[in-house]
Amino acid sequence: MRKYFGTDGIRGRVGEHPVTPDFMLKLGWAAGVVLASGNGGRVLIGKDTRISGYMFESALQAGLSAAGVDIHLLGPMPTPGIAYLTRTLHMDAGIVISASHNPYYDNGIKFFSSAGTKLDDELENAIEEYLERPMTTVDSSHLGKAQRVADAAGRYIEFCKASVPNGLDLRGMKIVVDCANGATYHITPQVFHELGAEVVETGTSPDGLNINQGCGSTSPEALAGTVVREQADVGVALDGDGDRVIMVDAQGQVVDGDELLFIIARARHARGELPGKVIGTQMSNLGLEHALAALGIGFERARVGDRYVMERLHANGSVIGGEGSGHIICLDRTTTGDGTIAALQVLAAMRETGEPLHELKSGMRKYPQILINVPAAQQLDLDGHADIQAVVSEAEQQLDGQGRVLLRPSGTEPLVRVMVEGRDSRLVESLARRIADAVQTALA
C-alpha cells in the first residue's frame, strides 16, 4: 500500500497533508532526483486555474531547483497538453498541478514520463521512498533554473487540430463550449474556431475559485440549456483539467462517455482503423458492450481508472478506450486521455456521416444505471463484510442475469461507489439504495 499516490497521482484538500506547501517542496525535490536524475535534468510544470496552483507551483519549483533540475513553466494548460509538450520538448518529466473535476479547495499532483505517459508504479514507489529521506540541496553552482515556455498554448492547439483529417471543415456548425472555468479556457474554443465553427463560449472566465462550479463535464445541465437556447448543433463540456469530455446534442440531451466511446469506435471500425478491442471499465454501461458486439467489435473491462484502461489498451494492441465519465483515450492520436481531441473525433464522425449527434448515439441503447456515492471516512473491506455481501447477493438474484452490481472505493475521494444497472429502472434504483444503505450502516 503506497502512502501518498492514489490511482491518479496525489490529491486532497488544500492545507491538509499531503496537499501542503512544505510537502510539495519535498515532492519536487524527490521527483527531481528520481525522474530527472538530479543535476542537468529538465522538468515541465503546468497547472489548472485553481488559486492554490500558484502556491504549489512555487513550492515544486524550489524543490526541483534544490535537486539541480531546470524548470520550464507552462502556466494554465490542460493535462493532456502537458503530456504532449513533455514529450515533444524532450523533457525528463512533466508535472501537472490539478485536482481535475474536484472543487477549487482541492488540489493535487500528477506526473508524466518523458514519453508523455503516466508513471508506472515502480517510479511512483521510488518517489515515495525519497520522500522518506532527508532533503538535500546541490551545490549552488548546480541549482536548477526556471523559465517560461513560449507559445505553449499555440503548440498544443495545432496538435489538437492535427488529430483529425486535414480536410475537416466545421464551417456552418455552431458549437457551445463549456470549459469549466478550467485549464482549457484559452484552448478548446480556439481549436474549434480555427477549424471554422461558430463558437459560443461558456465557463471561460476563471477566477481561481469557480473551476468546476456548476459547470463543465460534471454539471452539463447548464450547457444543455444553452445549446437549446442558442439553437446550436452540439455542446462540448470539459472538466477542470481538460482530460474529460461530455457532449450535448442539438435536442439538449446529454451524451456521456460511454456513448462517445461507441461513436468514436464505430467510426474507426467503419474506416478499418480499429485494431484490438475497445477497452471500457467495470463501470461501463452494459449497453455499450452489447452495441459494440452487434458491430462485431470486441470489448474488455478494465479496473476503474485511466491507468488501468491504458494497461489493457497496450496489452491488447488496442487504440480506443475510456470511461463513462468522459475520460477517453485515443492512442492512435495521443498518449493520454484528452477531452478536446476526443470531442474532435466525434465532430469528425458527424461530418463524415452527415448525421447529427443524436442519430450517431442512437446505435447504442443504454441500460438504466444508478450510481450512489456513500461518504466513507474510513476504509471498509467490502468483499469481506457479510451483511453487505448478503444484500449484494440478493440484488444479483433479482437482476437474474440481466444486469450488474459493482461496489468499489473511490481512488480519488473518500467515497464508496455503489453501482447497479439492469433493464428495469425502478428495480435498479431500489436495489442501489438498499445496497447503499447497507454500506452506510456498516460504516456507522
Report the catalytic residues. Answer: 100
Spell out the alpha helix ranges (H) of 364-418. 386-399
Q: How far apart are CA 195 and CA 173, in angstroms?
A: 10
Q: Could you tell me the three cell numbers for 47?
A: 497547472
Work out the number of other CB atoms within 10 angstroms of the CB of residue 172. Answer: 10
DSSP code for 102:
S
Q: How far apart are CA 284 and CA 366, in angstroms?
A: 10
Q: How far apart are CA 210 and CA 220, in angstroms?
A: 15
Q: How far apart are CA 327 and CA 92, in angstroms?
A: 25
The answer to whether 180 and 212 are in contact (CB under 8 A) is yes
Return all residues near 343 (Cβ < 8 A) that are at least 6 apart.
Answer: 188, 236, 245, 247
Return all residues near 169 (Cβ < 8 A) that are at least 6 apart.
Answer: 195, 196, 351
List, in sequence order, every residue forming a beta bridge with 10; answer none if it has no partner.
Answer: 109
Angle at Cα 396 formed by Cα 395 and Cα 402, nearest 5°?
A: 120
Angle at Cα 264 formed by Cα 326 and Cα 421, nearest 5°?
A: 50
- CA–centroid distance for 116 within its chain: 15
Q: How far apart are CA 73 and CA 372, in angstroms?
A: 39
